[in-house]
Amino acid sequence: MCDQTFLAIVFGPCDRCSREKPLRPVYIKSEQLSYCSICVEMMATEGLHENETLASLKNEAESLKGKLEEERAKLHDVELHQVAERVEALGQFVMKTRRTLKGHGNKVLCMDWCKDKRRIVSSSQDGKVIVWDSFTTNKEHAVTMPCTWVMACAYAPSGCAIACGGLDNKCSVYPLTFDKNENMAAKKKSVAMHTNYLSACSFTNSDMQILTASGDGTCALWDVESGQLLQSFHGHGADVLCLDLAPSETGNTFVSGGCDKKAMVWDMRSGQCIQSFETHDSDINSVRYYPSGDAFASGSDDATCRLYDLRADREVAIYSKESIIFGASSVDFSLSGRLLFAGYNDYTINVWDVLKGSRVSILFGHENRVSTLRVSPDGTAFCSGSWDHTLRIWA
Amino acid sequence: MKELMSNSTTSISQARKAVEQLKMEAYMDRMKVSKAAADLLAYCDAHIGEDPLIIPVPASENPFREKKLFCTIL
């Protein structure tokens, strides 16, 4: 469903060194050439050309930014909510807390669903990572990390392992075992090493690779078995706080959001930033792809959530209200993409109509900030975690 | 002197990379918002029937809404 034709990463002989590699378009004296990433670096570090100074490069950058805005504005012929006027309005929603998961001793910071639509992994400030059965609310596994503030956790696609990390600057993978004699912590495998805290992690389509985001401003792709760094993604000017992988089966892109107010879309194979969006007024806490993969939503400390369309290359909707003044910490879409659930620092969850831009419902229940929110894989419910030490399942 | 030179080469390379990145972003193929919005609407329409949070499935089929008790008396 998602057409990744907006930037085809070509594989072929580099125009400079003739080696067969993934190529990027490069513009030299208004001619378009294809260079491999090493030749791009070499070209960038060459001495100054004739008539080129640092100031002239900066001026060129400024004028290009202006051109970029112009190009984006040319195609801005209509607003999303105008197109959506002909769509039927949604009815009243009755969503209640169906389960409350109690057991964490401190703030819940992150959670993830297992593909079996039933199990949940959650992590908290006190270093505990717990795997729950959401139907029965029983705890199936618990592990204590050697660090506090476990800000990221993820379930492996196979359901056989979990990954987590935080202030230890690492991402560790724990295989899940039902053998009562085995100590889960003994089989721990350290996969990622960053130079600052781990803010987000996610397995790719298999158990073999993990994508991480860190306070050191970079994202990285790791091989789980060997712990080797496969690709790193540089470009954010400050801490990266969140990431999400494109939903396509053959997905090779992901989006990340950071404290530099930018959301950036990356190509996983080349490490290159394909698109970037800078319209938020504050840190972006959460990004999530629209189910079709053609757009993504972001939640920020500026109290708004925004929708960016990848093919139109611009922001197409803002979800905000004057009465909402606290930051949005996490966002997720319902299965069809019609609803956007956003958890806020004012303890509430707002449900937005994605197409019309209006708020459909507001959910109360948590007694402190909502820090994490994910819709279940089959869309029957969503789970929210909060600083009030609990997780709630809503349906 | 050497330090100054290496500082300027780093900032030149950074500035060059920024220019290249912006060139690539400026020249990318874009679609009109009207078409992109229409596609988003079409996707929603196509999938809204399967969305259990919008069109609720009967309580017996939603494992969270049914009132089953999971405790057994041994």
Question: A86-142 pLDDT, tens per residue?
Answer: 998 888 888 999 999 999 999 999 999 999 999 999 999 999 999 999 999 999 999
| Residue B65 structure tokens | 């809404």
Indicate the burial class of A241 (C-beta count within 10 angstroms; 0-12, 13-18, 19 or more): buried
Comparing CB atoms, the residue among A60, A292, A314 nearest residue B19 is A60
Ranked by mean pLDDT, the top range of A16-25, A43-52, A337-346 is: A337-346
Q: Looking at residues A364-377, what average pLDDT do you find?
A: 96
Minimum mean pLDDT range among A3-17, A37-51, B26-40 = A3-17
- Structure confidence by residue, pLDDT tens digits, A26-35: 777 667 788 8
Question: Which one, of A110, A130, A138, lies nearest residue A374 by Cα?
Answer: A110
Q: Is B5 on the interface with A (CB under 8 A)?
A: no
Q: How far apart are CA A349 and CA A361, in angstroms?
A: 8
Q: How far apart are CA A30 and CA A20, in angstroms?
A: 24
Q: What element of type H or E holds A374?
A: strand A370-375
Q: Is B62 helix (H, G, I), strand (E, B) or coil?
A: coil
With a cut of 50, say whether residue A6 has pLDDT above it.
no
Question: Which one, of A94, A129, A96, lies nearest residue A110 by Cα?
Answer: A129
Q: Give the pLDDT band (50/70/90) at residue A47.
A: low
Comparing CB atoms, the residue among B28, B50, B65 nearest residue A336 is B50
Question: Which one, of A59, A15, A122, lies nearest residue A387 by Cα?
Answer: A122
- Structure confidence by residue, pLDDT tens digits, A289-312: 999 999 999 999 999 999 999 999
Q: What element of type H or E holds A70?
A: helix A54-74
- Which residues of A, range 12-41, sit inside 8 Å of B by Cβ? 24-27, 40-41
Q: Looking at residues B16-27, what average pLDDT do you find?
A: 85
- Mutate one of A90, A306, A338, A391 to test the B interface: name it (highest B CB count within 10 A): A338
Tell me what the pLDDT averaged over chain B comes to. 80
Comparing CB atoms, the residue among B22, B34, B53 nearest residue A339 is B53
Is residue A233 a contact partner of residue A220, using CB atoms and an 8 Å limit?
A: yes
How far lies A363's CA from each of A31, A94, A207, A359, A394, in Å? 55, 10, 35, 11, 9
Q: Is B11 on the interface with A (CB under 8 A)?
A: yes
Query: What ipTM is given for this predicted complex?
Result: 0.82
Is residue B44 a contact partner of residue A338, using CB atoms and an 8 Å limit?
A: yes
- Structure confidence by residue, pLDDT tens digits, A70-91: 888 888 889 999 999 999 888 8
Q: Is A44 helix (H, G, I), strand (E, B) or coil?
A: helix
How far lies A282's CA from each of A6, A211, A302, in Å? 28, 24, 5
- Which residues of A, range 251-310, sit inside 8 Å of B by Cβ? 273-276, 290-292, 294-295, 309
CATH number listed for the domain at residues B28-73: 4.10.260.10
Q: Looking at residues B42-63, what average pLDDT do you find?
A: 88
- Which residues of A, range 87-146, sit inside 8 Å of B by Cβ? 87, 90, 95, 98-99, 118, 134-136
- Structure confidence by residue, pLDDT tens digits, A54-67: 888 888 889 988 98
Q: Do B22 and A65 touch (CB under 8 A)?
A: yes
Q: What proportion of chain A, given as a percentage, has pLDDT over 70?
A: 94
With a cut of 60, say whether residue A5 has pLDDT above it.
no
Is residue A219 a contact partner of residue A232, using CB atoms and an 8 Å limit?
A: yes
